Amino acid sequence: MVPGGRGDVLTNGGSVRKIQLPLPRGGGGVLIVAHRGNKAAHPENTRAAFERAINEGADLLETDIRVSADGVFVCFHDERLERMTDGRGRLQEKSIADLKLLRVRQRGREWSGERIATIEEFAALLPADVAAALELKDRRFSERNTCEKLVECLEKLGLRSRTIILGFSRKQLGVMREVAPDLPIGHVTFFPFPFGSADLLGPPWPILLLNPFYVRHAHRRGRIVCPLDSHPDRRLGLYRSLGCDALLTDDPGATIRELHRRRKPAHGSS
């Protein structure tokens, strides 16, 4: 199944799940997934990065989800704070009030005016024609209670019908599926064949070279494919020839421009 518009049906093992996949806004038939927003231009997983990606035409905003010490869902990749902020220690040991005091790093040692974003702030930025892709990063998503709280939050924010849950951990994804069977699941998998129960498969791009029939077999099984490649521009020809459904990118604007450039006829052609 190749997604083509709002409300596409994902079938898997006899069950049916729905996600309001947006029509591709700028990628010429392929969905553009903004990896932590536009992290090429702004600090990853911040309001500025998300806004830039939306304005550039991204179809899905991907972000990492962790949980503060007092149970607030935040958009942050690392377990520890040092790489991206002026804080120290593990994020899960800090309250949301403490986290909001931290400065977020732009590049190297530069500081931006951005702060760690909550899932509520993320949701407030999301237009109706853009979907959410939430990657589970916190170890507590192995617990049913944490997954239930996230689903309740998505329902409250009006995001449940246009969210896909992503992750590396089969255990965490399994718990989430038990809690919310209607939510599509995306598995970042290193297995060279499109097996498993996930609705979306995210193999590292070299796997598609090792197994050029990966996407075809995935489609036969009702899966969609988004290669794990946050710098896809040099391999757009490969992904389009294989029929990949979505492209992950650190720089949505640059990827969309490159897709447009490749669609233009050569000078002098009829």
Cα separation values, 119 from 67, 73, 156, 159, 225, Å: 10, 6, 11, 10, 25
Q: Label residue 189 by pLDDT band (50, 70, 90).
A: very high
Residue 172: inside a domain, yes or no? yes
pLDDT score at 24? 72
Helices (H) and strands (E) in the chain, counts: 9, 12
**Separation CA 121–CA 13 (nearest Å):** 35
Phi then psi dihedrals of residue 33, to 5 deg: -105, 115
Contact 166, 198 (CB under 8 A): no
Residue 43: inside a domain, yes or no? yes
Contact 37, 82 (CB under 8 A): no
Residue 254: inside a domain, yes or no? yes
**Separation CA 58–CA 32 (nearest Å):** 5
99, two tokens? 């986290």
Residue 63: inside a domain, yes or no? yes
Q: Label residue 265 by pLDDT band (50, 70, 90).
A: low
* Mean pLDDT in residue range 40-63: 97
Segment 77-130, tens digit of pLDDT: 999 999 999 999 999 999 999 999 999 998 766 888 899 999 999 999 999 999
What's the number of domains the chain is made of? 1
pLDDT score at 73? 98
* Mean pLDDT in residue range 207-228: 96
152, two tokens? 């309740």
Residue 113: inside a domain, yes or no? no
Residue with tokens 């993320």: 122
**Separation CA 49–CA 119 (nearest Å):** 14
Residue 47: inside a domain, yes or no? yes
42, two tokens? 């702004």
Residue 59: inside a domain, yes or no? yes
pLDDT score at 21? 61
Q: Which CATH number is 152's domain given?
A: 3.20.20.190
Q: What is the dihedral sign for C-alpha 11, 146, 98, 88?
A: negative
Domain residues for the domain of 178 are: 8-67+129-263
Residue 117: inside a domain, yes or no? no
Segment 67-76, tens digit of pLDDT: 999 999 999 9
Strand 60-67 with 117-118, pairing: unpaired
The residue among 25, 8, 6 whose CA lies nearest residue 259 is 25
